[in-house]
């Protein structure tokens, strides 16, 4: 028996309510940042844009899976994404899970401007359940008779965080959801709905229906990114799942707090701020790529092969840098050289102001001398 009156059981469902004023500043920042992203991307070389795209899509694929407790191999995911984008890639064995989530992320990117449809959702579900043998319903909405519940705790004393509509209601609920989703993006001006509100509401609405036997979180986050892309009329290229995973406990708490009410201001404020954080991460990565180009234009002729290998590795790690900073031992391992040679190389890089040195003795660390880091 359902002890809690879930949102979908309420008379006004699915008419969500929220305070537009609470989102006003967030919506303004999102619009401003979207313009900045588009502007700075024009200064990124085509090859670097491909690298940026692969980096963002792979991070999203890995993190949206990690939120659900599935750990994927980064190199395999990147290889799959490159293959699905038609980029040059070497041969590599990739698991069905890694290939499937990569396939979904590329489809989301390439087909962002198409209206949402049942078939697209079914295809996404087939992709992310690639290789699964434990599911009854793949590539279709769930049909099982038992309640679809989100639970934690012991089997003999479960804590029910949410119970979704019965399977028999799902086709009708999803027909209504898809009509709603497409309408709010086609008629956004008339309906006076701004991007963050649409994306946050779409995600919550979808996961409240929980239409699939598994994979609802990953598809729900993809729907939010599709919503943003439709709003700005280009792929959003944001690290949404990356930022959600960084504090996923907060994400789940806000979802749970919102599943028994139709007043969702708190959820939308949280989700809107998360999207802004994701946008800012993308801007940092674009800045990092621009600085990388400038860096090699200035210093490439001053580096020996060992130094070049290590510097390239630092750039591969990304704008967040080496965990704990680059040490002499790290340098020795990456360059495959002796301790004395590593010391000389690092001293040379520091004197040329290519690296910044901090700490002393065993605590000495090095970082790229890039102005924005």
Percent of the residues in the chain that have a pLDDT greater than 90, as a whole number: 75
Residue range 325-339, pLDDT digits in tens: 899 999 999 999 999
What DSSP string describes 182-248? HHHHHSHHHHT--HHHHHHHHHHHHHHH--SSS-HHHHHHHHHHHHHHHHHTS-----HHHHHHHTH
When pLDDT is averaged across residues 64-72 and rounded to a whole number, the result is 95
The whole-number average pLDDT for the span 130-156 is 91
Q: Are 228 and 195 in contact (CB under 8 A)?
A: yes
pLDDT level of residue 373 (50, 70, 90 thresholds): very low
Give the domain extent around 68.
7-287
**Residue 104 in contact with residue 58, Cβ under 8 Å?**
no
Convert 15-61 into a string of H (helix), E (strand) and C (coil).
Answer: CCECCHHHHHHHHHHHHHHHHHHHHHHCCCCHHHHHHHHHHHHHHHH
Tell me if 43 is assigned to some domain. Answer: yes
The model's pLDDT over 234-282, given as tens digits with 9 standing for 90+, comes to 999 899 999 999 999 999 999 999 999 999 999 999 999 999 999 999 9
* Number of folded domains that form the chain: 2
Whether the predicted pLDDT of 139 surpasses 50: yes
- State how far Cα 49 lies from the chain centre: 17
Which neighbouring-strand residues pair with 368? 355
Of 229, 224, 228, nearest in space to 195 by CA: 228
Q: Within this chain, do residues 134 and 216 fall inside the same structural domain, yes or no?
A: yes
Q: Pick from 256, 287, 318: which residue ends a domain?
A: 287
Reference 23, options 273, 246, 210, 216; nearest CA is: 273
CATH no. for residue 346? 1.10.10.10
> Does pTM surpass 0.85?
yes
CA distance between the termini of the chain = 55
Query: What CATH number is attached to the domain comprising 207?
Result: 1.10.3290.10
Clarify whether residues 253 and 210 are in a common domain: yes
Together in a domain, 218 and 353: no
2 has pLDDT over 50 = no
Q: What share of the chain is helix, strand, coil (3-state, %, to 5)?
A: 65, 5, 30
Residues 73 and 220 in one domain: yes
Helix (H, G, I), strand (E, B) or coil at 368: strand
298 within some domain = no
Q: Helices 96-110 and 216-232: crossing angle, nearest 10°?
A: 20
158-191 tens-digit pLDDT: 889 999 999 999 999 999 999 999 999 999 888 8
pLDDT computed for residue 1 by the predictor: 43
Claim to verify: residue 274 and residue 328 sit in the same structural domain: no
Domain boundary among 254, 287, 320: 287
373 falls within a domain: no
In Å, how far are 91, 157, 255, 318 from 106, measured between CA atoms?
A: 19, 41, 27, 21
* Residues counted in the chain: 373
β pairing state of 365-368 and 157-163: unpaired
pLDDT at 324 over 60: yes
pLDDT at 304 over 70: yes
Q: Is the pLDDT of residue 219 over 50?
A: yes
């Amino acid at each position: 028996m359902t002890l809690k009156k879930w949102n979908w059981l309420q008379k006004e469902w699915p008419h969500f309510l929220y305070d537009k004023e609470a989102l006003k500043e967030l919506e303004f920042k999102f619009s401003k940042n979207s313009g900045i992203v588009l502007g700075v991307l024009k200064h990124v070389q085509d090859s670097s844009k491909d690298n940026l795209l692969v980096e963002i899509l792979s991070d999203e694929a890995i993190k949206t899976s990690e939120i659900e407790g599935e750990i994927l191999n980064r190199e395999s995911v990147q290889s799959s994404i490159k293959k699905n984008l038609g980029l040059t890639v070497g041969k590599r064995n990739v698991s069905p899970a890694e290939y499937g989530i990569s396939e979904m992320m590329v489809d989301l990117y390439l087909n962002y401007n198409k209206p949402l449809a049942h078939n697209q959702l079914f295809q996404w579900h087939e992709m992310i359940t690639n290789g699964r043998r434990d599911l009854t319903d793949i590539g279709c909405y769930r049909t099982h008779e038992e309640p679809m519940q989100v639970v934690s705790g012991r089997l003999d004393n479960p804590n029910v965080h949410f119970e979704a509509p019965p399977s028999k209601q799902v086709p009708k609920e999803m027909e209504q959801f898809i009509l709603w989703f497409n309408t709010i993006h086609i008629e956004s001006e008339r309906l006076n709905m701004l991007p963050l509100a649409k994306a946050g509401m779409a995600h919550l609405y979808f996961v409240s229906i929980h239409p699939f036997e598994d994979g609802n979180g990953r598809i729900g986050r993809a729907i939010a990114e599709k919503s943003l892309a439709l709003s700005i009329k280009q792929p959003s290229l944001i690290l949404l799942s990356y930022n959600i995973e960084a504090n996923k406990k907060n994400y789940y708490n806000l979802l749970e707090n919102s599943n028994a009410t139709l007043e969702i201001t708190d959820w939308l404020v949280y989700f809107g701020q998360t999207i802004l954080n994701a946008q800012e991460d993308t801007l940092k990565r674009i800045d990092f790529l621009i600085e990388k180009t400038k860096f090699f234009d200035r210093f490439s002729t001053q580096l020996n092969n060992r130094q070049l290998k290590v510097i390239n590795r630092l750039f591969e790690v990304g704008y967040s840098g080496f965990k704990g900073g680059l040490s002499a031992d790290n340098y020795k391992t990456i360059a495959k050289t002796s301790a004395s040679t590593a010391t000389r190389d690092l001293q040379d890089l520091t004197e040329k102001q290519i690296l910044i040195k901090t700490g002393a003795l065993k605590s000495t660390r090095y970082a790229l001398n890039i102005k924005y880091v």
